[in-house]
A and B are shown apart, each in its own frame.
Chain A
Amino acid sequence: MKNFIYQRQWGWLASGITLGLAFLLAVAFVKPVGVSTQFVILDGIVWDIFSDDVTIESSTSKTGYSSTNAYLNKGGGKYAKNIANPLNYSFIFVLAMVAGGFVGSKLQSDKVEKNEIYFIPKIWEKRFGSSLNKRYLATFLGGILVLFGARLAGGCTSGHMMSGIMQTSLSGYLFALGAFATAVPVAIMMYNKEE
């Protein structure tokens, strides 16, 4: 057990079973795992500091909150409500994920030296060189696309693909179809040339 916790990386079977368990426990105790909505909530928390009408307490809305922004006002103001009350389950869950990653990497018996090259995946370096700025620009642009896409789809790999297909949701399959349809050809075009 101790070795298992300290291993740098688990094999596919152990990874799969523990991943499945994490998704199952979340739905058993609270609700399916979701991540991408919380990017909107964090944006809203910051935006709320600078503007008065991002969240408005409203007795006529279902959640008690509304917003002048159509997206934050959606579903009876549920995003506006969570922005006004950041200490809610979904937001804390995502913050705890950061801590989970931290604990996981700290409890690793063979330490990886986090020198500059560590932030560039080997395959990226082979294809695009060892410029850190280039890599950072790519992850920044990738981030814009990933979260814009996830919000349009109404969920991401966690919410749609894993939680969705777990529940046999049609939307989970449609999302996976869309995501792999671009991700696989783009990854092959971008990274497979050097071989």
Chain B
Amino acid sequence: MNIILAIILGLLFGFVLQKSGAANPQRIIDMLRLKDFHLMKAIAVGIGTSSFSLFILLAINVIDVAHIGVKASYVGVIIGGAILGLGWAISGFCPGTGVVAVGTGRKDAMFFIVGGLLGAFIYTLLYGSLKTTFLFDSLGGKATLAATGSSKYIALLPSAPAFVIAGGIAISFIIIAWKLPNSQSNQV
């Protein structure tokens, strides 16, 4: 059952990433150099709508809270993000969009994936000596702004109903998406 779900959900995600233009490195680079906000608008709407729906569905018990997975906050999240950002700007791919771009037949994405496998392998070998360094100093652990209802995660704003906080954030994201300038060209 899980494997069938993996195929359906993976196909859907890959298809949507391709259709949104996220698997096109030109689109990514144009977003990062602040020339074309198409993807930024799409990402903001995607986060806003999914977040609002998630917290509503959690509140009415349609989504099982055991399905959510909050990652820990530590120094390496910011530094790792910054290292990823460098490669993201240089190549125009991130892991997910690189994988999808291979499916669309992009040869440059295949080189990205081979590089990615090497980068992940280097990390796998280095982890043993990195894990005791400042990189893993905690910056708040597995924390969320809105209360998820799971005791595994720390809620930073526990006093207000979760869907009000998540809803407020979601609306902010949607307003940002709406206010960002429209794309100059639809076809890149």
Q: Which of A93, A105, A123 touches B9 (beta carbons < 8 Å)?
A: A93
Q: Which of B7, B16, B79, B186 touches A19 (beta carbons < 8 Å)?
A: B16
Interface centre among B18, B85, B101 (most CB of A within 10 A): B85
A151 and B6 CA atoms in complex are apart in Å by 22
18 further A-B pairs in the complex, CB-CB below 8 A; given A16-B48, A121-B29:
A16-B44, A21-B50, A23-B50, A40-B124, A69-B127, A140-B114, A142-B115, A143-B91, A144-B116, A144-B122, A147-B115, A157-B97, A165-B51, A168-B144, A169-B70, A186-B90, A188-B32, A190-B90
Q: A15-B20, A143-B114 are in contact. Are A170 and B12 (CB under 8 A)?
A: no
Q: A16-B49, A168-B169 are in contact. Are A70 and B128 (CB under 8 A)?
A: yes
* Chain B count of residues within 8 A CB distance of the other chain: 130
Q: Report the 7 A-B pairs with minimum CB-CB distance, sorted nearest first.
A: A100-B14, A143-B115, A16-B45, A96-B10, A178-B81, A142-B91, A101-B103
Contact present for B9 and A29 (CB under 8 Å): yes
A71 and B126 CA atoms in complex are apart in Å by 8
Q: Which of A93, A123, A159, A183 touches B26 (beta carbons < 8 Å)?
A: A123
Q: Which residues of B contact A43 (CB under 8 A)?
A: 117, 120-121, 124
* Chain A count of residues within 8 A CB distance of the other chain: 121
